Structure 1
Amino acid sequence: MVLYDNATQIKSTHYDARPNADDVSLLVIHNISLPPGEFATSGIRDLFTGQLNPHAHPFFKEIAHIRVSAHCVIYRTGVIEQFVPFDARAWHAGISSFQGRQRCNDYSIGIELEGTDTLPYTDAQYLALENLSKFIILRYPRITIGRIVGHNDIAPGRKTDPGYEFDWPRFRQSLFTVEP
């Protein structure tokens, strides 16, 4: 079981075994906020653990039945929660394809950033994402810069996250910095 030590472990039941555990070769960046546009709520955690109360917010009625997860969520504060071990298949990509290959959940790791397409992400999130991504790349060397994408890249027309406010150049450049 591959876990990130700098994350709080929260068990989701919304995952299963990968068809080939040696095939992890894609990192997908997402965004999420529940309710939409609201931060620091339990909505994300509740959704990924199957405990979202459909009566807590009108939007929740539409999604409470959905069984989804991501490997990790990075909150606006930089705090990371891990819901699914990296060697298991989280249910984050949905109908998706990358370079002609379908079913991205089979071979990808999904990281959610607490946010929206239209609001800048925090410095704490970029730092946490950098460190987490370096950890993942070290363990899964088939994930290269060209194989780190947004949800919008693997589900175009269906998804827009992480949105135009995500600073791809800043993030990619951070992956080349070497710790002293």
Structure 2
Amino acid sequence: MQIKQHRLTGVKWLGSQFYNQRPNDEISLLVIHCISLPEGCYGLPHIDGLFCGKLDCSAEPSFKDLQGLEVSAHLLIDRNGEVTQYVDFDKRAWHAGVSSFEGREGCNDYSIGIELEGTDYSEYTEQQYQSLIKVSQLLLCHYPKLTKQRIVAHSDIAPGRKTDPGYHFDWSSYLKAL
């Protein structure tokens, strides 16, 4: 796996329509999220559907609130450690929402968003950590303004609104491995 033209090689590509051009900001923040659809259910196609604008919101009662939602992430790492990319890294994915880091608003402008398949209350798999570490190392090497100190949880940039990736995410081991 490597980064070529702002895209990971050797991973599944599913292009999202939910992105736009970044302002002239360099990539300088990595945001870790979690997602599962329905919550706590894994290995289903619904996350791909959501990020690609093809989610059947009638498929599950909990999807009703997702109708018309335009959201994406740069990457998803599923429970088996498989990586899917939806948006090129040099484009602005719509993952952070209302957010701020070190007093600067609009984190989507300068961040890369990685979703882990999971919940705020579930533990992540060893395969997910291994893939996340490998991807993070590539990103840190490729984008010079990214540093270990600029890797954050979604909850860090949207406190009170978001809690992911949750209490079980092992920040210590993850950051040490980088």
Q: TM-score, normalised by structure 2?
A: 0.96
Cα offsets for 1:121-144 (capped at 9, x unmatched)? 000000000000011111112111
Deviation at 1:64, TM superposition (A): 2.6
User: Which residues of structure 2 form unaligned runs of 5+?
Assistant: none
Deviation at 1:11, TM superposition (A): 0.5
Distance, in Å, in 1 between the alignment partners of 2:47 and 2:87 is 14
Deviation at 1:171, TM superposition (A): 0.4
2:7 pairs with one of 3, 16, 37:
3
Q: Percent identity?
A: 52
Distance, in Å, in 1 between the alignment partners of 2:28 and 2:94 is 16
Deviation at 1:54, TM superposition (A): 1.2
Question: Which is further off, 56-65 or 72-81?
Answer: 56-65
**Which residue number in structure 1 is paired with residue 160 of structure 2?**
157
Distance, in Å, in 2 between the alignment partners of 1:35 and 1:98 is 29
Give secondary structure in 2 for the equivalent of 1:118: coil
User: Which residues of structure 1 form unaligned runs of 5+?
Assistant: 176-180
2:57 pairs with one of 49, 54, 59:
54
* Consecutive aligned runs of 4 or more in structure 1 exceeding 3 Å deviation: none
Distance, in Å, in 1 between the alignment partners of 2:97 and 2:29 is 14
Confirm or deny: 8 A CA contact 1:47 1:64 kept in the other structure: no
**Which residue number in structure 2 is paired with residue 44 of structure 1?**
47
**Which residue number in structure 1 is paired with residue 19 of structure 2?**
15
**Which residue number in structure 2 is paired with residue 143 of structure 1?**
146
1:74 pairs with one of 52, 77, 81:
77
Give secondary structure in 1 for the equivalent of 2:149: helix
Give secondary structure in 2 for the equivalent of 1:23: coil
Distance, in Å, in 1 between the alignment partners of 2:177 and 2:87 is 25
Distance, in Å, in 2 between the alignment partners of 1:13 and 1:62 is 20
Q: How large is the RMSD of aligned CA atoms in angstroms?
A: 0.8
Distance, in Å, in 2 between the alignment partners of 1:87 and 1:54 is 30
How many residues matched?
174
